[in-house]
């Protein structure tokens, strides 16, 4: 994509300290942050008066194409939701469905300030195509499930390698690929051990669901006589390159294993609440120095991909769970959605904070709204008062993805129409 030199003036910049100033983007990077900047050869000047400038938000656990299943099976426990509703529909998925669903999700994420996501699903080359067109940054993994079937296991590795070869490090470096073993209860020990071996060989990350429900813990205990993270540690899967989603039902020993192995976590509070899966002990995990990031999960189990809403939910849920209003304060939860998310994906040197030399993944939030007035405490407002509809401008990799609430890289009306048709087609086959 063509990038331009962009000067943003008069913004309230949320960086290592909060200050009013200007920021200059050249190509895909932030090159200067100052009180005032005089720049030549600027293609676009944005007056960000009354706007807050923040890093693009990082959503570390998604299933983008499940946006087509939004509202399909609400108010059900995870086991019933998956087995009786979601998996039967997914059996009829094709690449066109996944492209349309991913494009819809990209539009929703851009409009709510997310510039980077971590996705696990199917037909991931179609998801990569959508993300490339939208201009967003993403890490993709094919969801590997073998249920102990050797032929299925071989097919999962074949598909994963196809996606690696076709999609890794594409779209000007915005698209990366990782290994995506679904979970300890849907993947055989042989598959999980194979993932560790292949991830080491390719130097790629691992994205897995773990300890989401009490039933999962009971099933893994019955099958392996160990809790999920104990089992994953015993077979050698865990390491600093692993991002585990959910981590709701954790023993003290598992928390120590997670810390010792440097495992990164993605907290998905809305999905966990909606499926009544439980509450992850996030404040405890952060106290131990564990990297906890924030994810929405798919739009079928959350119904929204808005990370602003997720920030508020995460903070409030920890407070009411611990009966302590001081835990998970606004700054901590803001970091979960930005630099912790970047670190969880191994991208902290490039994104996640506003710094000279980092990639220009930037969001402007409009503070001239009744719900964000009086303008007093930017981070508090962002976490407790703002929502995705307050996002005005989104830049990723130096490319303008949204300006004045208007998508720039994809046509919103066309995307909505395409997704409606794809969803109807998918459900008609189920």
d(CA 271, CA 217): 18
- How far is Cα of residue 69 from the mean position of the Cα atoms in its chain? 18
Q: Please enumerate in sequence order all residues whose Cβ is within 8 A of that of 267, keeping only pairs 6 or more positions apart, or say none.
A: 246, 247, 280, 282, 292, 293, 294, 295, 314, 336
**Has 209 been labeled as part of a binding site?**
yes
Rg (CA), the chain: 21
**Has 189 been labeled as part of a binding site?**
no
**Has 182 been labeled as part of a binding site?**
yes
**Has 381 been labeled as part of a binding site?**
no
The torsion of the CA quartet 14, 16, 18, 20, rounded to 10 degrees, works out to: -80
**Residues 380, 312: contact at Cβ < 8 Å?**
no
- How far is Cα of residue 103 from the mean position of the Cα atoms in its chain? 15
d(CA 347, CA 396): 14
CA distances from 64 to 45, 109, 167, 272 (A): 33, 10, 16, 17
Among candidate residues 130, 213, 210, 192, the one with its CA nearest the CA of residue 167: 130
Burial class (CB in 10 A: 0-12, 13-18, 19+), 102: buried
The residue ranges of DSSP E strands in 162-240, in sequence order, are 175-177, 180-181, 206-210
**Has 90 been labeled as part of a binding site?**
yes
Residues annotated in a binding site for substrate: 90, 182, 212, 297
- Which residues are documented as binding site for Zn(2+)? 61, 63, 209, 297
Which residues does the annotation place in the binding site?
A: 61, 63, 90, 182, 209, 212, 297
């Amino acid at each position: 994509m063509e990038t331009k030199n962009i000067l943003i003036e008069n913004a309230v910049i949320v960086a290592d300290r909060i200050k009013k100033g200007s920021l200059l983007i050249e190509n895909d990077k932030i090159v200067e942050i100052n009180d005032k900047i005089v720049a030549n050869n600027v293609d676009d000047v944005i007056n960000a008066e009354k706007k807050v400038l923040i890093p693009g938000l990082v959503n570390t656990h998604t299933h983008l194409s499940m946006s087509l299943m939004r509202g399909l099976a609400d108010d059900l426990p995870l086991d019933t939701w998956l087995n009786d509703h979601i998996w039967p529909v997914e059996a009829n998925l094709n690449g066109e469905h996944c492209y349309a669903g991913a494009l819809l999700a990209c539009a929703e994420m851009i409009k709510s300030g997310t510039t980077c996501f971590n996705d696990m699903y199917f037909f991931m080359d179609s998801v990569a195509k959508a993300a490339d067109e939208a201009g967003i940054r993403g890490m993709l993994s094919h969801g590997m499930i073998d249920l102990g079937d050797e032929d299925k296991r071989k097919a999962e590795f074949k598909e994963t390698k196809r996606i690696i070869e076709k999609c890794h490090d594409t779209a000007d470096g915005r698209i990366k690929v990782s290994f995506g073993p679904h979970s300890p209860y849907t993947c055989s020990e042989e598959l999980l051990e194979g993932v560790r071996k292949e991830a080491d060989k390719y130097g790629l990350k691992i994205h897995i669901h773990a300890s989401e429900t009490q039933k999962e813990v009971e099933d893994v205990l019955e099958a392996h006589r160990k809790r999920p993270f104990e089992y994953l540690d015993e077979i050698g899967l865990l390491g600093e390159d692993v991002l585990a989603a959910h981590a709701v039902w954790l023993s003290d020993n598992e928390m120590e294993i997670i810390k010792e192995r440097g495992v990164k976590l993605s907290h998905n509070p809305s999905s966990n609440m909606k499926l009544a899966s439980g509450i992850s002990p996030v404040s405890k995990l952060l106290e131990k120095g564990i990297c906890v990031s924030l994810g929405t999960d798919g739009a079928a189990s959350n119904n929204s991909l808005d990370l602003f809403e997720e920030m508020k939910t995460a903070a409030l849920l920890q407070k009411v769970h611990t009966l302590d209003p001081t835990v998970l304060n606004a700054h901590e939860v803001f970091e979960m959605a930005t630099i912790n998310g970047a670190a969880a994906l191994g991208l902290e040197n490039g994104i996640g904070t506003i710094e000279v030399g980092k990639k220009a993944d930037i969001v402007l939030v409009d503070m001239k709204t009744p719900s964000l007035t009086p303008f007093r405490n930017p981070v508090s407002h962002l976490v407790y008062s703002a929502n995705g509809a307050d996002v005005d401008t989104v830049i990723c990799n130096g490319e303008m993805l949204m300006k004045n609430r208007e998508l720039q890289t994809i046509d919103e009306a066309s995307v909505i129409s395409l997704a409606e048709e794809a969803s109807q087609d998918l459900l008609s086959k189920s």
